[in-house]
């Protein structure tokens, strides 16, 4: 099972590296995504809407919701550097690359957020769905092993 985990983790990272060109850019993008996802939850909670992924049949619903969400607060370069452990100078360089790709933008507070524009967004959506499929298969394998195990939890 451990081998399966590392194979899946390696494939997961390789796929993201192919999309972004390097893993640091993906980590920076992912930190912004987590922030934007949390903002979306706050917006939905405030408007008493539920983000029901099960009832929604559109396969890109979740990632599309995050991309069109215009959060009140983004993430600045210092926070990204602190969270990721990537040096601030590298974060700045990678941010410039993501800005050129038009998948992020800077708000008036000098914080960075996603845009729903940019050529890479279709690759990101496609890769996101591929990764979700492999994660689901891996988790299914884990549950099947637990179910067949003689150990009781």
For the chain, how big is the Rg over CA atoms in Å? 18
Query: What is the predicted pLDDT for the residue at 39?
Result: 82
**In the chain, domain spans:** 2-148
Token pair listed for 99: 């800005």
- Model confidence, pTM: 0.75
Give CA–CA dist 140/138, Å, rounded: 5
Q: What is the pLDDT along the chain (153 residues), one digit of tens a residue?
A: 667 777 778 888 999 999 999 999 999 999 998 998 888 788 777 776 655 544 555 666 666 666 666 777 899 999 999 999 999 999 999 999 999 999 999 999 999 998 888 888 889 888 888 988 888 888 888 888 888 878 766
């Amino acid at each position: 099972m451990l081998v399966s985990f590392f194979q899946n983790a390696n494939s997961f990272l390789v796929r993201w590296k192919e999309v972004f060109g390097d893993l640091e850019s993906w980590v920076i993008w992912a930190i912004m995504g987590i922030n934007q996802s949390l903002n979306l939850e706050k917006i939905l909670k405030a408007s008493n809407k539920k983000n029901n992924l099960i009832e929604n049949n559109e396969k890109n619903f979740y990632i599309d919701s995050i991309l069109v969400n215009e959060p009140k607060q983004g993430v600045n370069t210092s926070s990204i550097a602190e969270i990721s452990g990537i040096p601030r100078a590298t974060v700045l360089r990678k941010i410039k690359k993501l800005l050129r790709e038009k998948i992020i933008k800077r708000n008036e507070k000098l914080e960075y957020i996603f845009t729903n524009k940019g050529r890479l967004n279709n690759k990101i959506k496609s890769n996101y769905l591929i990764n979700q499929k492999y994660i689901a298969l891996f988790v299914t394998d884990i549950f099947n092993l637990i179910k067949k195990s003689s150990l009781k939890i």
